[in-house]
Amino acid sequence: MKKYTGLIWRAIIFIAIIIFIYYIHLYVFPFSKEGLQDNFKICYITAIYGSYESSCKPYVKQTIQSDFLCFTDNVNIDKNGWEIDTTPYHLINKSPLDDDSHLNSMSNNKHTFNIAKYYKQQFQNIPRLKDYDVIVWMDGTLEITNEKTSEFIKNKINQNKIIGWMHEHRSGILKNEVDASNIDRYTSTFWNNQEQPYQDIFKQYDHYINDGYNDDFFADVAVSNDFNKENLGVWITCFVAFLNKDSSVTDFLNLWYLQTLKYTTQDQIGFPYACYKTGLIPYTLPDETIKGSSPHSSTDIYIKHNHGK
């Protein structure tokens, strides 16, 4: 009997040691060595079509494995370390939402600014991106300057499934974004040397109001979720991280892109509406560790260059 009791205790001790080692690896040394990263896969993507930008902006090497992928129609673009992909996924892996009937369907608006929206809002249709845990959209003007950006995103992304920056000039009021968007980029039928349909930002906003949209929704969210951010409700969408293998995020992206298809290419108007309808509220920066009260120019994560460089 004593023999079996000793064996049992040795088995219990062995199991306890294994569990202890597992938790040490999981919580104490999650990034101890490059290559030991729990198979976490993150990809930063951008889309540069036409002459809107002349280069992929440089980036600082991340402390964990991170891929940088640029979708473009310019085979001679200045890569600056990015992988270039010229496959026209917006045509061969077209969004199921695009039935050619919408104002900004690919068949009705061939402006390169509109094409880029597919890669920003419908990247989950691109086969090579399906295996990533996180996709980070970056406008072509951004340069990543913080080597721990991927680490931060990995540690925060599961909290809200989306990470974004507050818009510092809108005070959380969507109408402010609408009024500020009354510019040639959307109101002209010939912009950046290309034809496009008129983008009726006011019609889009009126639809949202008639559907019950109210900025007070985000004020209530801020209180109940301890967001304490006076600008919550309007986001600058030049840098947004998404949990990639999540059905609720897919629903969000689909609703967001549908606003582009139906109404306008000003996706910063459709973004708060998608938050309102789906209940997905981004983890909103800046926070106590990542600073940046002027995300249109620079933050602790990136700097923003002028268009065309």
* Arithmetic mean of pLDDT, 255-268: 98
Q: Strand 162-166 relative to strand 142-144: parallel, antiparallel, unpaired?
A: unpaired
Would you say residue 32 has pLDDT above 50? no
C-alpha radius of gyration, the chain, whole number: 22
pLDDT at 33: 36
pLDDT band at 34 (very low <50, low <70, confident <90, very high): very low
pLDDT at 36: 36
User: What's the gap between Cα 86 and its chain centre?
Assistant: 21
240 within 8 A of 163, measured Cβ to Cβ: yes
Residue 30 is encoded by which pair of tokens? Answer: 């999650």
Those residues whose C-beta lies under 8 Å from the C-beta of residue 108, and which sit 6 or more positions away, are: 100, 102, 197
What are the pLDDT digits (tens) for 83-94? 999 999 999 999
70 within 8 A of 84, measured Cβ to Cβ: yes
Is the pLDDT higher at 23 or at 260? 260
Instruction: Tell me how far apart the alpha carbons of residues 4 and 13 are, in angstroms, rounded to a whole number.
Output: 14
280 within 8 A of 225, measured Cβ to Cβ: no
pTM of the model: 0.87
Which among 96, 91, 104 is positioned nearest to 261, based on CA atoms? 104
pLDDT at 111: 98
CB neighbours (10 Å) of residue 75?
A: 7
